[in-house]
Amino acid sequence: MNFKGTDNVVVEERPLDALLAAYAARTLSPPLTALVAAHLELKLDNRAYVAALEAAHGVFLEELEPIPLVGRDRRLVNIFATPAQDPDEPLPASPPRAYDTVLPPALRRFIGCDYADLTWRTGLPGIKEAVVAQDDFGVTSLVSGRPGKQLPLRTDDHLKVTLVLAGSFADSDGHHGRGDIAFTDADSERPLVDSESDCVCFIVSGGRAKPSGPLGRIWQRMIGG
């Protein structure tokens, strides 16, 4: 790994590398953080790269001056005042649920439900969407497309970051299957579902709040900023 000075890790000028670097630096928005965490749960080959970046950022943190904790005594009083659970008291039983084979754990935590509980709306023929968040970070949703359909990932103003959860699609950058991350903008080709089953994607669209660091620079360049 190469370094630039003592405060920046040099990464390749690829969107995926920049996205993983921003994730390691903890500078991504919550939706993008969930997307990358889910990607790492599905794709083991990038875990070592992210772990190395996190270790590098850990070294940088050791060089920072410590900041005193404000209200330390009050916080400790509140912690110790919290009633402890009786160890003999059984935990409430959860109803049995079928295992969610579509959403990785990171996305189930972010969305707050299983795939079977999502609320879908139909848009274009063969396409449906479930919006899970809409705020200053942009629009976060899941999109499902039938085989042979074009996914609505091309955008006129913001970059879209897409994680494939089921099935696959093809675009000018190649074939994208479960666990792959794709980037689309105004110049991107509209992706085509090339799997025999429905293609399901988790999509984060850029809003006013842009990620900082390397991804932010690539983000701005890709949308013409």
Per-residue confidence (pLDDT) for residue 2, from 0 to 100: 30
Q: In this prediction, what percent of the chain has a pLDDT beyond 70?
A: 62
Average pLDDT, integer, range 44-57: 79
Mean pLDDT to the nearest integer, 80-87: 55
Total residues belonging to the chain = 225
Task: Work out the average pLDDT over 122-142.
Answer: 87
Query: What confidence category does residue 10 fall into, taking pLDDT thresholds of 50, 70 and 90?
Result: very low
Query: Lowest mean pLDDT: which of 45-49, 69-73, 99-103, 115-119?
Result: 69-73
Per-residue pLDDT of 160-206, as tens digits, reads 899 999 999 998 889 999 999 998 876 777 889 999 999 999 999 86
- The answer to whether 8 and 173 are in contact (CB under 8 A) is no
Residues of the chain within CATH 2.60.120.10 domain(s) are 105-210
Report the alpha-carbon distance of residue 106 to residue 110 in Å, rounded: 6
pLDDT at 52: 81
| 20 or 97, higher pLDDT | 20
Contact 155, 131 (CB under 8 A): no
Tokens coding 138: 């942009």
Query: 20 versus 57: which is more confidently predicted?
Result: 20
Highest mean pLDDT of the ranges 56-65, 92-101, 148-157, 197-206: 197-206
Per-residue pLDDT band for 62 (boundaries 50, 70, 90) equals very low
Note the CATH number of domain 105-210. Answer: 2.60.120.10
